[in-house]
Homo-oligomer: A and B are copies of this chain.
């Protein structure tokens, strides 16, 4: 596996791969690789000649009081894990390589960035869209793999690449979960044992709410209240939002749809966790789209 530590080396790698008509897959990460990331790398390995894992803790997407400084960093372990999962190259740019002193361009998405996490993390998704746009241009992959756990990030990237006519396939990958259902996340490592135990409530709340919808509850408002009440039954959990939203636009739903996204963000201690579940109703009286 190649370690490419600046943009120029990454570009040369991709240029050579493309010259050989090799299919390039990109798995963009901030390091701290867990099984979720590795499942993306393994999937890319099945579909691509070259699998590039980018590791870049992007400073611009962290808010002032967020965890940029303490975000877990262990590049050596990440490289070993990436190689074992099938990566053929790791791209490890520096912040000054990505954002040189004269840097001044930001992408902005009008609507998708306003809901869910976007409402609580101003500028976050614009910064994500910007850095992913740059990574896609640098790595020039045919496909890029994103986990569905970060569903708003996924939608922002899908919309951005479509809006800007970028020639890349965005591949959504299912969320991997611990045995109690907690979605895998690099931030789970922040949790104390009691917090970790409490975090199991998130997926339970999503499942319970989905079951209510499948059992015939048609009101998004009642589903949202059910989701919320389940979450707050765990005292360590502080809910940032609990939403029933359109899976494409991410806007809150007022009427039932055949496809509805349950999405939550909570704080447990100092740790912010997100999760979501897509409800697909087989048939639906209130079907509106």
Contact = CB atoms under 8 A, between A and B. Distances in A.
Interface string A129-173: 100011001101000000000000000000110011111000000
A270 interface: no
Contacts of A109: 104-105
Contact of A133 (B110, B159, B164): B164
A106 interface: yes
A283 B5 CA distance: 40
A107 interface: yes
A137 B167 contact: yes
A16 interface: no
Interface in A90-138: 102-112, 129, 133-134, 137-138
A23 to B, nearest CB: 15
A48 interface: no
A7 interface: yes
A103 B163 contact: yes
A87 to B, nearest CB: 21
B106 A108 contact: yes
Contacts of A133: 164
A79 B277 CA distance: 52
Nearest to A103: B163
Contacts of A108: 105-108
A110 B106 contact: yes
A107 B107 contact: yes
A229 B153 CA distance: 54
A166 B104 CA distance: 15
B110 A159 contact: no
Given A110-B106, A112-B104, A137 B166 contact: yes
Interface of A: 7, 11, 102-112, 129, 133-134, 137-138, 140, 159-160, 163-167
Given A104-B109, A104-B163, 5 more contacts: A7-B165, A11-B167, A104-B159, A105-B108, A137-B165
Closest 10 CB pairs of A and B: A105-B163, A104-B110, A137-B165, A138-B165, A106-B108, A104-B111, A134-B165, A104-B109, A105-B109, A105-B160
